[in-house]
Amino acid sequence: MKISGWMHMRVLARAAKARLLRTAGRPDRPVERHPDGMQLQPSDLGSVRARAAPLQLARMNGAFSNGRAWQEAARAKLRELLVVEQGDHVANESWSRDIGEILARRVYVRRTAGVDIPVTVLSDPQKPEAGPPLIVMLGTFSAVHLAMGEARLPYDVARLANGADIGRQAVRAGYTAICVELSSLGERRERRYGRGTSTSTAAESALLFGHNLLGDRVSDLMCVVDWWRTDCGARHAPHQNPWVLGHSAGGTVALFGAAVDERIQGCVASGCIGFIRETLLKRRNESGQNTVPGILNWLELDDVVSLVAPRPLLAVSGLQDHIWPFSGCEAVLAVARPMWDELGDAAHIRASEAKGEHRFHPDATWDALRALRDSCA
């Protein structure tokens, strides 16, 4: 349909008016006027559903006589919701090289047809290990090369300055770092369908088959644990169970992975803890990478945290974190802490407060992790 000159002028005038209103701080609403009180936005329905969320397996319901019985039922349900897949793995070592004092070894671990997981193991051959192996996972817009401390893109320099070299930090703290590239990020970014679509495309594709991206990432993590326990190399004792450390989206994978896989010794979850109804439901969530379909019918995040008990858990968050603020993290841990009282030691669940925004905070992590591990010795 051809637009007349008059109609074109109306469109331009409308655009100019909208710009003036935005400049004046008054939102422009190019929609029909409607009566007050109408609930027209999807978030209106989300709020109603949140208030009525059944949370059928929430620990706070008190339907189970003891914590172990609840964990067994809740863990089985969470694995079902995540659609966790386990199978035999095949590992192919690709390369190894020195990065300063650090030895980097690349392995591709095949979980199933269509899934090769890039894993980079960082260690210092000249330094005795002070702690357990540590599986490291970064967040959105990150990649394993950052964990290694390498800048390959213009904005990498700023990210490294803000603490993104988590793998390198781990090695310097005395750990062997097992850096895992998350599905849809870094080397695993979707490149067939244009720029800026990787994570949302992966999430939507998973949903079409009854899966979800977070569950796929947890399945990858569990496959890496399988590989590490069986093929970890001459320097490491066989069957040595790792800890997990993740930040942001990587922290969510670490937390959910520790919740469903008891082989994981302990968990460090950075910038990723808050009640689901107070976080994902109350902000833009375009990627869908942390969404587990149906979870609020059964569990809240304090329940997921409680599934880690009695193993040690360290949660780190910034006071000015606009996504996962420390106040929300602390609130979740307060509800979950009684599970550690019942099954182990409440000193083994800790929150570490950082001064700053949403980023990895080395100063609030490594000393706190060492203190937590000392308390477990």
Q: Are 162 and 359 in contact (CB under 8 A)?
A: yes
Q: Are 180 and 119 in contact (CB under 8 A)?
A: yes
- Which pLDDT value is given to residue 7? 67
- pLDDT tens digits for range 186-204: 899 988 876 656 898 999 9
E-strand stretches of the chain: 90-99, 102-112, 115-123, 134-137, 177-180, 243-247, 267-270, 313-318, 349-354
In SS3 terms, 249-302 reads as HHHHHHHHHHHHCCCCCCEEEECCCCCHHHCHHHCCCCCCCCCCCCHHHCCCHH
Amino acid at 322: H
d(Cα 345, Cα 248) in Å, to the nearest integer?
26
Between vectors from CA 80 to CA 74 and to CA 81, what angle results, nearest 5°?
90
The per-residue pLDDT of the chain, averaged, comes to 91
Closest CA to 295 of 30, 39, 19, 83: 83
What distance separates the 2 farthest-apart alpha carbons in the chain? 78
Task: Quickly tell me which residue has 């706190």 as its tokens.
Answer: 368
Helix (H, G, I), strand (E, B) or coil at 247: strand
Q: Is beta strand 115-123 parallel, antiparallel or unpaired with respect to 90-99?
A: unpaired
d(Cα 202, Cα 363) in Å, to the nearest integer?
34
Amino acid at 48: V
- pLDDT tens digits for range 48-78: 999 999 999 999 999 999 999 999 999 999 9
Domain limits, the chain? 90-376
Amino acid at 198: S
Q: Which sign, positive or negative, has the C-alpha torsion 187, 305, 328, 160?
A: negative
Burial class of 158 by CB neighbour count within 10 A (0 to 12, 13 to 18, 19+): exposed
- Which pLDDT value is given to residue 1? 43
- pLDDT tens digits for range 82-140: 999 988 888 888 899 999 999 999 999 999 999 999 999 999 988 877 789 999 999 98
- pLDDT tens digits for range 339-359: 999 999 999 999 999 999 999
Give the fold, CATH level 3, of 90-376: Rossmann fold (3.40.50)
How many Cβ atoms from other residues are within 10 Å of residue 43's Cβ? Answer: 13
Give the tokens for residue 247. 């930040």
